[in-house]
């Protein structure tokens, strides 16, 4: 069983929690009382507008970037090696899979996120988003032998979210919920991520212009991953193999066989592990024809984190916002610009 597989990457699986469309309390503008609201949405917008409430423009387009670094716990790891035309048999390599321990991992990810949102009620927004991720990931194996590999990461994610606003005296409570799916050529199925958050927001309005203000907030966020992941990758992509790789691997395997963990095993278990290792060795020798299939359960090391954020409302149409999430080793940063309009 794996204890901790620590990804220090702008995680492909958890990007979505930082792009929630945050707005602010609607204010009273006595000059518009009795006037007709010019847009179809939000529902009930006309009544609110007639009573003097200043509503945000109903539709928004956003573009931004997201950084994320956090740990994942992987458990119940399984793998299988295949040659072209073969079906994976995870049982053959299970004796090796049970021994595998991963060490620290680090990587680099770039992200670009696009979003559209609409206020369907004065206090409820619905949004959809799409994004690209690309970069590289370094993975280290510490047992039963020490290995290190560098793989390229490239994928897409898409999803939707809901945002609700609740004015409470001088502040606004914002609550959001997002569903997203991440795709990657190496994954059998998209990975589902659910993110929920709550924030307490406070506006500071410019004395010269009522449509220009700063808003600041604090809050908390929870992320949940789909538990089971499976996929495949060419062994040559997963490992950096040079001329001395097999000899080095054999040397480390023989050293492992001298440890008490191996020597205390029953004879039958030793035979199974040796047979599994020979399958791995043959796969490395024929690296260009070998595909690694994998399955594992995963969960976040820290599903909760704190939030600090700020929004600059330049005018009724343009906004810039940033949000930082943190908890122990977990760090997340979002920067996004928005354009709002009415129809």
pLDDT in tens, 274-304: 998 898 889 888 888 899 888 888 788 788 9
Classify residue 261: in a domain, yes or no. Answer: no
Q: How confident is the model at residue 16 (pLDDT cuts 50, 70, 90)?
A: very low
Q: Name 74's Cβ contacts closer than 8 Å, sequence gap at least 6.
A: 2, 4, 5, 102, 296, 297, 298
Classify residue 281: in a domain, yes or no. Answer: no
Q: Which two tokens stand for residue 18?
A: 């930082």
Look at residue 79 in the predicted model and tell me its pLDDT. Answer: 86
Q: How many CB atoms lie within 10 A of CB 343?
A: 10
Q: What is the mean pLDDT of residues 77-91?
A: 88
Question: In this model, does residue 117 exceed pLDDT 60?
Answer: yes
Q: How many domains does the chain have?
A: 1
Look at residue 25 in the predicted model and tell me its pLDDT. Answer: 43
CATH code of 25's domain: 2.40.128
The domain in which residue 109 lies consists of 7-239+292-341
Question: In this model, does residue 167 exceed pLDDT 70?
Answer: yes
Look at residue 317 in the predicted model and tell me its pLDDT. Answer: 94
Classify residue 301: in a domain, yes or no. Answer: yes
Distance CA 139, CA 102 (A): 8
Q: Is the dihedral of CA 261, 140, 80, 229 positive or negative?
A: positive
Classify residue 256: in a domain, yes or no. Answer: no
Question: In this model, does residue 309 exceed pLDDT 60?
Answer: yes
> CA 340 from chain center: how many Å?
26
The least confident of 86-95, 105-114, 229-238, 244-253 is 105-114
Question: In this model, does residue 10 exceed pLDDT 50?
Answer: no
Distance CA 167, CA 147 (A): 55
Angle at 176 between CA 172 and CA 181, to 5 degrees: 160
Classify residue 259: in a domain, yes or no. Answer: no
Classify residue 270: in a domain, yes or no. Answer: no
Classify residue 246: in a domain, yes or no. Answer: no
Classify residue 277: in a domain, yes or no. Answer: no
């Amino acid at each position: 069983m794996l204890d901790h597989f620590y990804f220090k990457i702008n995680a492909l699986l958890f990007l979505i929690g930082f792009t929630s469309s945050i707005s602010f309390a609607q204010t009273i503008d006595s000059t518009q009382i009795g006037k007709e609201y010019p847009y179809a949405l939000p529902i009930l917008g006309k009544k609110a507008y007639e009573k003097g409430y200043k509503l945000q423009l109903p539709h928004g387009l956003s573009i931004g970037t997201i950084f994320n670094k956090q740990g994942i716990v992987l458990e119940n790891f399984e793998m299988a090696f295949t040659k072209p035309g073969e079906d994976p048999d995870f049982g053959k390599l299970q004796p090796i899979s049970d021994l595998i321990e991963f060490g620290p991992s680090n990587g680099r990810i770039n992200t670009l996120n696009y979003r559209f949102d609409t206020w369907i009620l004065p206090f409820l927004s619905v949004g959809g988003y799409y994004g690209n991720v690309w970069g590289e990931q370094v993975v280290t194996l510490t047992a039963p032998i020490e290995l290190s590999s560098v793989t390229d990461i490239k994928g897409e994610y898409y999803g939707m979210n809901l945002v609700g606003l609740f004015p409470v005296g001088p502040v606004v409570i914002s609550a959001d919920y997002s569903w997203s799916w991440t795709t990657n050529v190496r994954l059998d199925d998209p990975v589902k991520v659910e993110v929920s958050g709550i924030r307490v927001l406070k506006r500071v309005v410019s004395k010269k212009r009522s449509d220009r203000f700063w808003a600041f907030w604090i809050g908390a966020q929870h992320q949940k991953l789909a538990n089971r992941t499976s996929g495949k990758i060419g062994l040559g992509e997963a490992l950096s193999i040079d001329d001395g790789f097999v000899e080095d691997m054999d040397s480390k395997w023989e050293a492992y066989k001298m440890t008490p963990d191996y020597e205390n095993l029953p004879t039958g278990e030793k035979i199974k592990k040796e047979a599994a290792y020979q399958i791995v060795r043959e796969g490395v020798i024929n690296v260009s024809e070998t595909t690694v299939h994998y399955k594992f359960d995963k969960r976040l090391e820290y599903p909760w984190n704190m939030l600090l954020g700020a929004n600059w409302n330049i005018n009724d149409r343009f906004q810039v916002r940033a949000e930082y999430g943190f908890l122990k080793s977990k760090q997340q940063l979002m920067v996004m610009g928005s354009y709002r309009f009415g129809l």
